[in-house]
A = this chain, B = another copy of it.
Amino acid sequence: MTVSTEKQPLNGVDTPTLFATLDAVRGQHDIAKFQFRATNRWVSGTHSRSTIHGFYGAMQEMEHSTPHVFDADHPAVLVGADNGPTPVEYVLHALAACLTAGIANIAAARNIKLTSVESTVEGDIDLLGILGLGEGVRNGFQGIKVSFKLAGDDPQKLRKVVEQSRARSAVYDIVTNGVPVEIAVEAG
């Protein structure tokens, strides 16, 4: 295997551009400072709608090619109108999507071919916490299980790719290690 064949696009990943981006960031660390954003507007009851469009990165204001709009709500069993998934389900989706994007990138960088990546994410939650009925019961998930099923090159290499994706995943880090959150309120 030569260096040039290692850098061909693979798994739908533009590997040459990926390596060029890494080189650019090595030369100018400020390129890597990003701010992502969502705006949310309450609709009614537990139903709200978020828009995701602009972000800051690579030393400039940027936008996704189109604004993305998402509804969240509680299901009827939780006294909502079921106009969308619950907020906690979006967290499970985010975790699966982040680990999967990492798997594709890392496999491409290592010249490992993927044919399929599927996952199921399950989060257990005891709602005694958010309902204020359980002393010592936390509000959030008590645990999350991600089950991956991958096909492609050598299974042992695929397992190592998943492990490296876990070690470099933004959402895995957020969800397992926590992030400081500041809340500002303007009321009137």
* Contacting pair A94 B94 (CB below 8 A): yes
Number of this chain's copies in the assembly equals 2
Q: Is A7 positioned at the interface, with any CB of B under 8 Å from its CB?
A: no
One of B88, B162, B170 near A130 (C-beta < 8 A): B170
**Interface size of A as a range:** 35 or more
Interface of A, secondary structure class, is mixed
Q: Are the CB atoms of A132 and B44 closer together than 8 Å?
A: no
Q: Give residues 5-40 of A contacting B (CB, 8 Å).
A: 11-14, 17-18, 21-22, 25-26, 29, 32-40
In the bound assembly, the distance between CA atoms of A130 and B18 in angstroms comes to 13
B86 touching A36, Cβ below 8 Å: yes
Residues on B with C-beta less than 8 A from A145 are: 181-184
A187 located at the interface, meaning its Cβ lies under 8 Å from any Cβ of chain B in the complex: yes
Closest A-B pairs by Cβ, 4 of them = A12-B44, A72-B97, A140-B173, A40-B96
Q: Which chain A residues have a beta carbon within 8 Å of chain B's beta carbons?
A: 11-14, 17-18, 21-22, 25-26, 29, 32-48, 50, 52, 55, 57-58, 62, 64-65, 68, 70, 72-75, 77-80, 82, 84-105, 114, 116-134, 138-151, 155-156, 158-159, 162, 166, 168-188
13 example contacts (A-B, Cβ-Cβ < 8 A) are as follows A11-B45, A36-B89, A57-B127, A74-B101, A87-B93, A87-B94, A87-B95, A90-B93, A91-B171, A95-B181, A138-B173, A139-B168, A175-B175
